[in-house]
């Protein structure tokens, strides 16, 4: 009988100890939840946090798809500043970027160039160069290679010559007889054709017209399109392409806008009421900040998934990838 009583006593002690442990765990969890509920969620972060996250762009080419809307969005309402940091923009930088509109009164300068590469070192076999000293912005060069490869695959031809980029010969006998104020920025490509060993002008027609019809898929636009002289100040120049990036080439092409019209269109949108756009299944928002002050302030994604460009006048345009 004594042995049975001892066993009962030990069991009761074990059960009591287990009850104390369970109660302690519940109390600790309640305390943790209470502390967590007091954490601030509506944070305002100052500073320009860029390139903290890399994003692989969707492939462009024949499978490209896009859709747009002119409607404003309420996506930033509520905790609208969460995930965004303040960004200070300086008037001295308003001429930098892929959307800057240059003209004879306000031309591009070498200082506006981004990272430039030597095309002779980076080009593929699907086009040729006028000489061995042709430089181009690295993003534009990568897009040019893709475009020319796809052109060759579609047509069986590799007859384009890059006749100039930042500096194009426009003297007697030139196949690109006009120089442009924007070329020094490094985003422009002037084209001619190699016809059975002879160089001829590219007029945008025939099989080679594929470039003018499809260049937007690679981030290029025909900078001086037909019927836009009143806005651009120039006649139709099918041989002069300007790199503006995939997103902006797609929107401006869909809306049949030259660069002047397109930049003016974007400048009506703000951080609070951005322009929304879907490209290859990815969502983007575009907005601008305008002013004559030496320093302007806007908000940009903390993730760094955005691109900034001045307009060479009084506005900055932000293209933000919505994750």
Q: Which pLDDT value is given to residue 81?
A: 81
Instruction: Please count the CA atoms within 13 angstroms of the CA of 103 that sit on its side-chain side.
Output: 12
Residues in a beta bridge with 300: 85
The pTM of this model reads 0.77
The CATH number of the domain covering residues in 44-99+249-323: 3.30.200.180
Question: For the residues of 66-120, what is the DSSP string, one character each?
Answer: EEEE-S---TTSSSTTTTEEEEEEEGGGTT-STT---BTTB---GGG--SEEEHH
Q: What integer is the mean pLDDT of 185-190?
A: 98
* CATH of the domain spanning 103-243, picked from 1.20.1630.10, 3.40.190.10, 3.30.1380.10, 3.40.640.10: 3.30.1380.10
**DSSP-based helix, strand, coil % in the chain, nearest 5:** 30, 25, 45
At 49, is the pLDDT very low, low, confident or very high (cuts 50, 70, 90)? very low
Q: Would you tell me how many other CB atoms lie within 10 Å of the CB of residue 46?
A: 10
Condensed to tens digits (0 to 9), the pLDDT of residues 95-146 reads 999 999 999 999 999 999 999 999 999 999 999 999 999 999 999 999 999 9
At 20, is the pLDDT very low, low, confident or very high (cuts 50, 70, 90)? low
Q: Which pLDDT value is given to residue 55?
A: 35
Q: Which pLDDT value is given to residue 226?
A: 96
Q: Quote the mean pLDDT of the chain.
A: 83
Distance CA 270, CA 72 (A): 10
Tokens standing for residue 34: 């209470």
With a cut of 70, say whether residue 29 has pLDDT above it.
Answer: no
């Amino acid at each position: 009988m004594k042995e049975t009583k001892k066993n009962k006593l030990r069991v009761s002690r074990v059960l009591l100890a287990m009850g104390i442990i369970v109660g302690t765990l519940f109390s600790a969890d309640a305390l943790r939840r209470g502390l967590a509920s007091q954490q601030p969620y509506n944070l305002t972060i100052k500073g320009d946090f860029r390139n903290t996250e890399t994003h692989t762009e969707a492939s462009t080419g024949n499978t490209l798809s896009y859709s747009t809307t002119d409607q404003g969005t309420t996506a930033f309402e509520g905790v609208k500043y969460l995930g965004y940091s303040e960004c200070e923009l300086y008037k001295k930088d308003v001429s930098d970027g892929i959307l800057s509109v240059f003209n004879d009164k306000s031309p591009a300068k070498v200082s506006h160039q981004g990272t430039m590469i030597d095309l002779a070192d980076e080009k593929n076999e699907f086009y040729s160069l006028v000489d061995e000293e042709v430089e181009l912005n690295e993003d534009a060069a990568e897009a040019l290679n893709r475009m020319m490869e796809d052109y060759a695959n579609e047509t069986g031809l590799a007859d384009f010559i890059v006749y100039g980029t930042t500096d194009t010969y426009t003297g007697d006998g030139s196949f690109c007889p006009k120089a442009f104020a924007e070329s020094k920025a490094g985003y422009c490509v002037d084209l001619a054709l190699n016809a059975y060993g002879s160089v001829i002008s590219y007029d945008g027609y025939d099989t080679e017209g594929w470039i003018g019809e499809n260049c937007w898929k690679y981030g290029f636009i025909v900078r001086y399109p037909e019927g836009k002289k009143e806005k651009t100040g120039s006649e139709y120049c099918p041989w002069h392409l300007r790199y503006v990036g995939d997103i902006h080439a797609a929107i401006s092409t869909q809306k049949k806008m030259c660069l002047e019209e397109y930049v003016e269109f974007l400048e009506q949108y703000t951080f609070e009421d951005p322009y929304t756009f879907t490209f290859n299944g990815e969502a983007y928002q575009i907005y601008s900040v305008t002013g004559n002050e030496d320093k302007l302030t806007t908000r940009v994604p903390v993730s760094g998934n955005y691109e900034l460009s001045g307009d060479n006048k009084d506005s900055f345009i932000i293209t933000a990838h919505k994750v």
